[in-house]
Structure 1
Amino acid sequence: MDQPALAPLWRTSEWLNTPAPIDLEAQRGHVVVACAFQMLCPGCVAHVIPQIKAVHDLFGPQGVVVVGLHTVFEHHDAMTVTALSAFVHEYGIRFPVGVDRPADNGGPVPQTMAAYRMQGTPTLILIDRAGQLRRQIFGHIPDLRLGAEIMRFVDEH
């Protein structure tokens, strides 16, 4: 069986809810759960934001690093950092949220989204303690299944 590849580094322009940027390489030794979302994505707002908040509350105390990645590939003018800050406050998001860096060529797909070859939002990313991308899910995954997958990586040594 092929060995999983290292997760691509996040390419962000700024961070909310953290005093310093979250460096993915510095998270080695921790299970990382990242959620790529857009604040104007109905599926993100209705399903994945509440789910990732619960993951943060349940698994954060166990050392799981939970991160949001605001990955804007449409409606760029409406989804500013100021609007995102208000969204994060209003929805009670306490985990760090990185703003995906816009494409260098001026295209619509931001850099982290391109590096992970995401199909859209929401996208859930599970990274093991060795920094390997173990699972990437486009869309919503049931809570119980997500919890079981996170625990599988937490229990790995």
Structure 2
Amino acid sequence: MAAKVGTKAPNLQISTWVQGKPTNIDKEKGNVVVVEVFQVNCPGCFMYGIPEAIELYNKYHDSGLTMLGMATAFEDYDKNTIENLQKLLTTGDVVGETQKALSMYGQLKAGKLPYKIPFPVAMDMLKKEGGQISESKIMDVIEANVPDYRSYSEKDKQVMKERVKAYLMGKEYSAKTFEEYAMRGTPTSLVIDKKGNLRHNLFGATGHLETIVQELLNE
């Protein structure tokens, strides 16, 4: 079952902590937790999501905010690797579409990321795909991402199933935390309150994250 807003937030399923002290959601009770989820090959993550997370960390980490980064991979598996994540964190090297976009917009310094991520960063748990694609697996994906699926006509339902099957057949890996939280893409900000409940699952640069953090810190 996918994690739902308003319920207890499941722990992140981590393959390794690449930077900072290992922790998890159950160890951060009493703090507001924001998990900034990104892919190494995701220009928007480095133009919007991560800079916003760094700004919030700098403002509120002494006031009860725990900021965590988690790299994941649901596409471009040759670029969204732990090796490229390690390079990014240690040297500022960026790859693929991230490198192209940041270079185009003049956001690199000597060809490297001009800022360092100051909070702990982990890699999502990736599981190699294989075997048959079952009907139940197809339906799990549909139910997590298409809430009005049951209102579709039988013909449209079948089309949706075929699309999801084709998507699953092209997947090399399953990203455990990404899928457990039914994220729609990156950047995504998971916001957990002081009691450990998932309060927001925000996809994209919404502009509301600081207001949300302030409200939860005041609860």
Report the TM-score, using the length of structure 1 for normalisation: 0.89
Percentage of pairs with the same residue: 32
Does residue 128 (structure 1) correspond to residue 210 (structure 2)? The answer is: no
- Greater shift, 119-128 or 80-89, is seen at 80-89
Instruction: Name the amino acid aligned to 2:19.
Output: N
In the alignment, the residues of structure 1 paired with residue 46 and residue 196 of structure 2 have an alpha-carbon distance, to the nearest angstrom, of 28
Aligned to 1:155: 218
Aligned to 2:123: 99
Does residue 139 (structure 1) correspond to residue 163 (structure 2)? The answer is: no
Q: Is the 8 A contact 1:17 1:94 kept in 2?
A: no
Q: Counting helix residues as a fraction of each chain, which structure ranks higher?
A: 2
Aligned to 1:10: 12
Deviations 1:29-72 (A, max 9, x none): 11001111011111101111111111111111112000011011
Structure 2 matches for 1:56-75, cutoff 5 A? 56-75=57-76
Aligned to 2:37: 36
Report the TM-score, using the length of structure 2 for normalisation: 0.65
- SS across alignment from 1:14: strand
Between the two proteins, the alignment pairs up a number of residues equal to: 151
Instruction: Name the amino acid aligned to 2:60.
Output: F
Q: Is the 8 A contact 2:74 2:173 kept in 1?
A: yes
In the alignment, the residues of structure 1 paired with residue 31 and residue 116 of structure 2 have an alpha-carbon distance, to the nearest angstrom, of 24
RMSD: 1.6
Q: Which runs of 5+ in 1 are unaligned?
A: none
Instruction: Name the amino acid aligned to 2:28.
Output: Q
- Greater shift, 75-84 or 50-59, is seen at 75-84
Q: In terms of Rg, which structure is larger?
A: 2
Match of 1:114 among 179, 184, 197: 179
- SS across alignment from 2:173: coil
